[in-house]
Amino acid sequence: MTTPVVSIAYHSGHGHTAVLAEAVRAGAADAGAEAHLIDVAGITDEQWAALDGSDAIVFGSPTYMGTASGAFHVFAEASSKRWFGQDWKDKLAAGFTNSGSKSGDKLHTLQFFQILAGQHGMHWVNLGLHPGWNNSAGSENDLNRLGVFAGAAAQSNVDEGPEAVHKADLATAEHLGRRVAETARVFLQGRAAA
């Protein structure tokens, strides 16, 4: 059986998103994938090649001013070289983001990732979880505590460092990594059988 390769292409401004990227990586590895972290702010030719060789790419960025960070936008624009050749066509894609507010326009960042993936001809993997913390029996420790379907969303207080990223948000990011790895395995098996 082929081991799926999952790469997490992310930018982190203050370290919170890097902690989430590591959680996504850990979830993917836990599900049996070969998983790589790629900080897009300093991406190298070797890391571009790693993305090209991946079965799935998970995009991650903080939400700044209602969208992904500037550094992530630079990466997205640079990925147009892959778009011309449709190098990422039929790969899987997913995404995660973090901001200081409970909503903080995180959905817009995830939609930006979805459109980027769509332009590349990639297949989007959603979170696959019901919303948590939305009834009297729920708690802030539920998976998907912010109730986002498109990807993993996290909220971090602006006056606290990366060590304070909420445990439920980390667990939700791990879930996303596992889901992407498991979906990639199904896709690889399907291609092998076709």
Nearest to 4 by CA among 106, 118, 125, 127: 125
Nearest to 90 by CA among 38, 50, 55, 114: 55
Give the integer Cα–Cα distance in Å for 87 and 80. Answer: 10
pLDDT at 1 over 80: no
Write out the two tokens for 29.
């590895």
pLDDT at 177 over 90: yes
The share of the chain scoring above pLDDT 90, in percent, equals 96
Element (DSSP H or E) covering residue 9: strand 5-10
pLDDT category, 61, cuts 50, 70, 90?
Answer: very high
User: Average of pLDDT values for 121-131?
Assistant: 97
pLDDT of residue 171: 98
Q: What is the pLDDT of residues 73-86, one digit of tens each?
A: 999 999 999 999 99
Q: What is the pLDDT of residues 92-104, one digit of tens each?
A: 999 999 999 998 8
pTM: 0.97
pLDDT at 118 over 80: yes
